Amino acid sequence: MHPPVSSRIVGVSQRLAALSLLVVVMLLLNAASWLVPVVARPGGLRFGLSERIVSRLALDLVSDLEQEHRQFV
């Protein structure tokens, strides 16, 4: 038997509220790192892609492309 519609709506509302709270916290951390640079680490708060991660992704992409090329040759 399915729960009543009102309890499902309450559950969805609670999940959306939790997600909204997470977004607000991330925005506040981002604002703090811009307003008070001492709070932020030298590489940032690690929410975005750092140069190290981007370079690793690029190397992985190149190696994958080379492997695919070898398969077709």
C-beta of residue 45 within 8 angstroms of C-beta of residue 29: yes
Torsion, Cα 22 24 27 31, to 10 degrees, reads -130
Residue type, 62: V
Q: How many CA atoms lie within 13 A of 34 on its CB side?
A: 6
Q: For residue range 22-49, what is the model confidence (pLDDT) as tens digits?
A: 999 999 988 877 777 665 566 555 555 5
At which residue do the structure tokens 């690690």 appear? 46
Q: For residue range 55-72, what is the model confidence (pLDDT) as tens digits?
A: 777 777 777 777 777 777
pTM of the prediction?
0.47
Closest CA to 13 of 23, 3, 21: 21
